[in-house]
Amino acid sequence: MANYKVGMFFTRKFKITEPEPPQDVKEAFGRFTDGTAATAMSPDQLLRFLIDFQRDSDAKIADAERIVNHIMQKRHQIAKFTRHSLSLDDFHHFLFSEDLNAPVGSKVCQDMAAPLSHYFIYTGHNSYLTGNQLSSDCSDVPIRKALERGVRVIELDIWPNSNKDDVDVLHGRTLTTPVPLIQCLRSIKEYAFSASPYPVIVTLEDHLTPDLQEKVAEMVTQTFGDMLFYPEEDCLEEFPSPESLKHRIILSTKPPKEYLEGKNVRGKQKEQAEEDKWGKDILDPEDELEPDDKNDSDDSEHNPDDQDEDDSDSRARHLVAPEYKRLIGIHAKKHKGDLTESLKVDTNRVGRLSLSEPTLKKAAISNGIDLVRFTQRNLLRIYPKGTRFNSSNYNPLIGWSHGAQMVAFNMQGYGRYLWVMHGMFRANGGCGYVKKPDLLMKANSDNEVFDPEANLPVKKTLKVTVYMGDGWRSDFSPTHFDNYSPPDFYARVGIAGVPADVVMKKTRAIEDNWIPVWNEAFVFPLTVPELALLRIEVHEYDMSEKDDFGGQTCLPVWEIRPGIRAVPLFDRNGDKFKSVKLLMRFEFV
């Protein structure tokens, strides 16, 4: 390569060359044609490839013809009128097309007629915050963005405004600026079903007087109208299904207690330790998934859902607002004292229990079986510990592996745990509801339920081949990764899941190439593939500084489509790059 001196630095001139299709692609092309690279692949031959190699058992000749026509239209302006078959390069281009050859499906594929408790639900925490938990603005914009991403549970903290005559949404006892409740409700109505037709649950952390509760009831009924679901009976014996609740909005909070007028109660509301306790135990956004958080604070905090009936004179002024109480579709259950008692299953009614992140960790050790049994009928919501004032998140697998449906996340946060959350809800067409595996819903012949800590045998093995990547030249500036040479990309591939399955591996770094070709395979034995997510990251190796980020994605293993697939990558915030993608192969062996 030629060197050119510029000032005190040397720059190298690099020629960008397009790599050949990987050997596996060449062999697949030859296998389904007559074996020569000069041969073209007809729609009939492509259909055989789709069924036999890609395991697309539902593929039809119309699908193969549509692919061929699409490639001809996109790549050949003249031949599209005369040729109706794929060359090797055309075939490679098809395999590298995420629109035609995605790694997971884009349609709802699970039974949606089971009770809500049978599903993991895409859940937000403090959904109105634009940034950190202490001083960021409150706005309806994060709510809209969450709904557009497919989030199905929106959390609102509702407080009296400064004049005590209206209702604001804000993170109480912090410097966050309020936003009117009515503004949030209107955005929920407008965007609730922009990404999914399945129900939106609005969880309310209620700090209101009865007269303002009545005002909330009026706002809610006028805003949502017939969209609002509430049960005819005071309590549900079993949750309805997502299918039966399509295009419905459900309120969930702790029903206010009925007080006798003139009842003596304590003066000021107790401090809410979970909201006010700002310690130093913060998860670094670049921490790996494998280690547990260190030095978790003792769970002395509690959730506003769990307020003692004597904790608020504002609630106890007169009789409860009857209309407000009637509109609560999912009743929140109080956790107080013995967790075993809180996790007892009532066969006559269902509800929602909220636990903090540290309480869940303790419960997973001491009451793991109780958690799984409770979540077979009831909803369990997990919320981040109060020390996460920078809106970081926690390992969601602890909650999911114990059946928790509502693992609440700061969607405006960042980091690998949020990427895993995004990955979970790419399943089932991205509709925001993912059916829990049978192992979490059924007991065995000895009436034993799933134990995520148990030593289990390998059930399935996933083999992943990382062939190559492309698109960085289009989505990044020429000097983004290195001022004087092309990037040195490497890929990281691993599993997020139950503890026994968690692992991370990486390829070698390919020096000075915008189109890295790795051709490396990795094998992942899985004891619980039903809860495993495949983590994929690309970084650029930097000898003197921290490696640069080049993209990421996370895929639900149980929905990965076998075969050679195009895998689009996403930025740190979870937004898809326009061009960056990998060519990979997935095999279950």
Place of tokens 């449906």: 405
Range 454-588 has CATH code 2.70.98.70: no
Closest CA to 223 of 181, 271, 270: 181
The single residue listed with the structure tokens 């914009």 is 141
Q: Residue 417's pLDDT is what?
A: 98
Known catalytic membership, residue 125: yes
Question: Can you give the pLDDT at residue 429?
Answer: 97
Higher pLDDT, 319 or 198: 198
What pLDDT, on a 0 to 100 scale, did the predictor assign at position 11? 52
The Cα 439–Cα 323 span in angstroms is 40
What gap in Å lies between CA 247 and CA 228, rounded to an integer?
9
Q: Who's near 199: CB < 8 A, 6+ residues apart? A: 116, 152, 229, 242, 245, 246, 247, 248, 249, 250
pLDDT number for residue 558:
98
**Cβ neighbours of residue 393 under 8 Å, at least 6 residues apart?**
283, 384, 409, 410, 413, 415, 417, 418, 421
Q: Which of 92, 125, 302, 335 is catalytic?
A: 125
Given a cut of 60, whether residue 268 has pLDDT beyond it is: no
Asked if 313 and 265 touch (Cβ cutoff 8 Å), the reply is yes
Give pTM, 2 decimals: 0.89
Q: What is the dihedral of CA 51, 54, 59, 61, to 10 degrees?
A: -70
pLDDT at 44: 96
CA dist., res. 342 & res. 152, Å (int): 25
**For the segment 473-505, what is each residue's pLDDT rounded down to a tens digit?**
999 999 999 988 999 999 999 999 999 999 999
Res. 399: pLDDT tops 50: yes
Residue 560: which pLDDT band, with cuts at 50, 70 and 90?
A: very high
3-state secondary structure 10-28: EEECCCCCCCCCCHHHHHH
pLDDT of amino acid 262:
39
Q: What's the pLDDT score for residue 299?
A: 41
Predicted confidence at residue 256, as pLDDT, reads: 86
**Which pair of structure tokens corresponds to residue 63?**
């699908």
User: What is the pLDDT of the chain when averaged over all its residues?
Assistant: 87
Contact 440, 403 (CB under 8 A): yes
Q: Which of 1-15, 188-202, 533-547 has the lowest mean pLDDT?
A: 1-15
CA atoms within 13 A on the CB side of 139: 12
Calpha distance 525→589 (Å, rounded): 9
Query: Could you give the CA distance from residue 482 to residue 559 in angstroms, rounded to a whole number?
Result: 37
DSSP 82: T
What class has domain 23-95?
mainly alpha
Residues comprising the chain, all counted: 589
**Distances 461 to 251, 264, 523, 531, 555 between C-alpha atoms, Å:** 42, 64, 7, 13, 15
Lowest mean pLDDT among 139-153, 314-328, 375-389: 314-328
pLDDT tens-digit map of 169-209: 999 989 999 999 999 999 999 999 999 999 999 999 999 99
Quote the percentage of the chain above a pLDDT of 90: 76
- Res 251: pLDDT: 97
What is the structure's pLDDT at 38? 64
The string of pLDDT tens digits covering residues 561-582 is 999 999 999 999 999 999 999 9
pLDDT band of residue 284 (cuts 50, 70, 90) is very low
Would the pLDDT of 283 be above 70? no
Give the bridge partners for 158, in sequence order.
Answer: 169, 206
Domain boundaries, the chain: 23-95, 116-260+287-441, 454-588
Of 270 and 437, the one with more pLDDT: 437
pLDDT at 18: 79
Are 105 and 559 contacting, i.e. CB atoms less than 8 angstroms apart? Answer: yes
Using CA atoms, how far residue 228 sits from 91, 222, 327, 341, in Å, is 50, 10, 8, 32
Active site residue 318: no
- Angle made by CA atoms 356, 359, 361, in degrees to the nearest 5: 110
Residue 16 and residue 472 in contact, taking contact as beta carbons nearer than 8 Å: no
In degrees, to the nearest 5, what angle opens at C-alpha 286 toward C-alphas 284 and 292? 65
| pLDDT at 10 (0 to 100) | 47
**Mean pLDDT calculated for residue range 112-126:** 98
d(C-alpha 498, C-alpha 401), whole Å: 7
What is the CATH topology of the domain spanning 116-260+287-441?
TIM Barrel (3.20.20)
- Going by C-alpha positions, the residue among 456, 436, 453, 381 that lies closest to residue 556 is 436
Residue 210: which pLDDT band, with cuts at 50, 70 and 90? very high
Say which of 171, 335, 422, 539 is annotated catalytic. 171
**Minimal CA–CA distance to 169: which of 206, 196, 200?**
206
Contact by Cβ (8 Å): 154, 188: yes
- For position 306, what pLDDT does the model report? 44
Q: Alpha carbon of 482 to those of 86, 100, 360, 477, 512: distances in Å?
A: 37, 33, 44, 10, 10
Identify the pLDDT of residue 579: 97
Give the mean model confidence (pLDDT) for residues 319-348: 87
| Residue 339 backbone dihedrals phi, psi, to 5 degrees | -65, -35
* DSSP secondary structure string for all residues of 401-452: TTT-SEE-B-TT--SHHHHHHHHHTTSGGG-SEEEPPHHHH---TTS----T
Cβ neighbors of 82 (< 8 A, separation 6 or more) are none
